[in-house]
Chain A
């Protein structure tokens, strides 16, 4: 009798065969010198191309969802399948053999971070209203956390939410908001009580991104494209049933999002970018440049490969633990740090092998195309909590080292110093 997993594999294969084309070659095989040579992490597409890709992503997610593969691990009551992380992995492995649209614009933030947060903290009404729409690709969600004066020190945020009637009025500015320009909803953290210590006066809301008073302005990234934005909130009305978690209990909601963010960023091993800095592709790069016998190049290739595989092993072990019902632990931060480091090293290693043909587009296949990755990797050390903040977390929460002295978590928020010019009594900090 076929096992439950065998049946699942058969079901997925039937679905994929019916709705997608199988790739000509295995995803990990290198087609050196052939086809697309762009190695894109952040998009540099013009708006019409970007919009078409977003539409394709939504359509593919819809197809997945309609066939029961949109949200494998979600509860059935909200449109999920009630299966395990292992099913997710098996599905991803099978889908990798087919040509399907990239769905990162939906999955990284909306499905990877906001969905789990709504599931954990939302009322049944909110879950019913948004989870099926998110996981069916109907809508995209963004994360309205960072502000100009509150990045690493997220709890120092100043966007205000004030009660009015049976709802709230929001005023303030968010920044670095990825995919806001495609999003229908955003998860916003707002200050609701400045007289409480900074972590205790924050409340989380689901904001309609099309509501009056929401102004989204694109920010251009160093990589050339505009995938993040400034979001200005001016007298934006949010009804109280769109509050997530208790009033002044928003920090706990935020922590759920941040935990999922670390796992979401660190876990992205595969994909075209991962393949570009993996051994088979880099070996072909050395071969094509006559460097396969160069001892120094081999050494760096091997060092990178050892660390990349070890990080992959760590991710697999983390997934096996999730499967056994354990919570994400410090591995998520470790794996995020390693991911950023490995990808950065890989990009710079390739650049060294390619040499001057990387600095101007000569038209040669697989040379100038690496600039996109080189111009993207700096962000990996910043987004989702900077490298320095990850290290503070590991040292303080895992190893139990003492906190930075002078960080004030007790005084009322309104008394804290929030910029060099201001006169609060404390200093900003964690």
Chain B
């Protein structure tokens, strides 16, 4: 999918359209209302994202109801969502499930994708291992595959428990990597109407803006997506795309923290001076800016690489760099943001903890430092 033709002016226009939308629909009050709601996000806003801006369809292929853009465009959207902390199933449905389905191909994927693109279906992809991780490697006990599938294509049943499924309680379609007769494969469960033997338990979450559920399958009917035993290649692509998408979200969140700290450092007066004139605070802000600039560069480069832009680096390496650098940067900046705000930064009413929660949960979502640094070395051939 070529994205080299989108000019920087067009990207700026996309950014400002999404930013305006977020300012109107996802200010802090709206975010907190969504956090306290049953569903965890505002489904009217979700529908408007599709109808007014076409965000869900933006980077999905045209043959499945998408607009055919790539990560270069999608990451602009994700950065703005991250900045606003928008609670929505975008990462689970469009990024994780959407990428898995496109990578898998075939009729079943073709059946589900148009609904995702239109925003009328939400889907998610469960992490494959019993500990909620994303490895199929089988190196540690935690790498064992959580769910198994019976033989067949259309009349398959799934058994097992996926412990940590993003938006798992609300998604209409659950995609599951399950151990099958031909090795790990991708399977789809129609969960909307409540499938047989399916139990979905919402879990208490660190990041209040993203829901997670435990999902148990007991002889639950499912269909194979793509080739039997084809999950490994699908997952590799999903992880490159999802960590790149997450990196853009993290940059957006980190930027919001930097802006909050800078604004506060100009407003707050102690000892008769703006606290931003104290060099300890000033240098903290400069460190935050440095981290954000470098993270931003890493996220952009990963998007170009995953889109296959001509002079971009290897996508696996660039995605792994972005995942590591943006995870560390967001966490550091979100942590310092609390410090710059002092006592008020530690209150429930202040937004600082919402970013800190998002930063920590995002860092660990795909395994955390122990996993992402090894992934980088593996991609670099070490």
Contact = CB atoms under 8 A, between A and B. Distances in A.
Interface range for B: 35 or more
B290 A302 contact: no
Nearest to A318: B297
Interface in B249-298: 258, 262, 265-266, 273-274, 276-277, 279, 281-283, 285-287, 289-290, 293-295, 297-298
A195 interface: no
20 contacts: A279-B382, A302-B376, A306-B373, A307-B325, A309-B321, A310-B301, A314-B293, A337-B290, A388-B279, A391-B283, A394-B285, A395-B276, A395-B286, A395-B289, A396-B282, A399-B258, A399-B286, A401-B281, A402-B266, A404-B277
B380 A305 contact: yes
A331 B321 CA distance: 19
A47 interface: no
Interface in A301-318: 301-303, 305-307, 309-311, 313-314, 316-317
Contact of A338 (B294, B322, B377, B380): B294
A395 B283 CA distance: 7
A394 B289 contact: yes
Contacts of A401: 262, 265-266, 274, 276-277, 281-282, 285
Ranked 9 nearest A-B pairs via Cβ? A302-B373, A391-B286, A314-B297, A313-B301, A401-B276, A310-B298, A394-B286, A395-B282, A306-B324
B321 A306 contact: yes
Given A306-B376, A313-B300, 7 more contacts: A310-B325, A316-B301, A330-B289, A394-B285, A400-B262, A401-B262, A402-B273
A10 to B, nearest CB: 19
Contacts of A299: 369, 373
Contact of B286 (A283, A302, A324, A392): A392
Interface string B287-319: 101100111011011000000000001000110
Contacts of A396: 282
B27 interface: no
A151 to B, nearest CB: 17
B339 to A, nearest CB: 15
A343 B147 CA distance: 46
Grouping DSSP codes into helix (H, G, I), strand (E, B) and loop, the A interface class, with mixed when no group exceeds half, is helix
Contacts of A24: none
Interface in B90-139: none
A324 B8 CA distance: 11
Contacts of B277: 401-405
Nearest to B311: A316
Interface string B1-35: 00000001000000000000000000000000000
Contacts of B273: 402, 405
Q: Among B8, B294, B295, B369, find the residue whose CB has the most chain A CB atoms closer than 10 A.
A: B294
A334 interface: yes
B36 interface: no
B293 A330 contact: yes
Interface of B: 8, 258, 262, 265-266, 273-274, 276-277, 279, 281-283, 285-287, 289-290, 293-295, 297-298, 300-301, 313, 317-318, 320-322, 324-325, 369, 373-374, 376-377, 380, 382
Interface range for A: 35 or more
B297 A313 contact: yes
A298 B300 contact: no
Nearest to B291: A334
Contact of B282 (A279, A306, A330, A391): A391
Nearest to B295: A310
Nearest to A320: B311
Contact of A392 (B8, B282, B295, B298): B282
Contacts of B276: 395, 401-402
Given A298-B373, A302-B374, A317-B300, A310 B286 contact: no
A131 interface: no
A248 to B, nearest CB: 29
Interface string A400-417: 111111000000000000
A317 B282 contact: no
A246 B25 CA distance: 54
Contacts of A400: 262, 266
Nearest to A331: B293
Contacts of A316: 301
Contact of A402 (B274, B300, B373): B274
Contacts of A309: 298, 313, 317-318, 321
Given A306-B325, A402-B277, A338 B289 contact: no
Nearest to B8: A324
A310 B297 contact: yes
A293 to B, nearest CB: 11
A239 B334 CA distance: 57
B125 to A, nearest CB: 25
A298 B377 contact: yes
Contacts of A334: 289-290, 293-294
Interface string A350-389: 0000000000000000000000000000000000000010
A390 interface: yes
A18 interface: no
Q: Among A302, A388, A400, find the residue whose CB has the most chain B CB atoms closer than 10 A.
A: A302
Nearest to B298: A310
A301 B374 CA distance: 10
Nearest to A308: B321
A283 to B, nearest CB: 5
Contact of B289 (A283, A298, A324, A399): A399
Contacts of B325: 306-307, 310
Q: Among B297, B313, B317, find the residue whose CB has the most chain A CB atoms closer than 10 A.
A: B297
B376 to A, nearest CB: 5
A52 interface: no
Given A314-B294, A394-B289, A303 B262 contact: no
Contacts of B298: 306, 309-310, 313
Contacts of A303: 324, 373
A376 B102 CA distance: 51
B260 to A, nearest CB: 12
A9 B373 CA distance: 37
Contact of B321 (A310, A337, A390, A395): A310
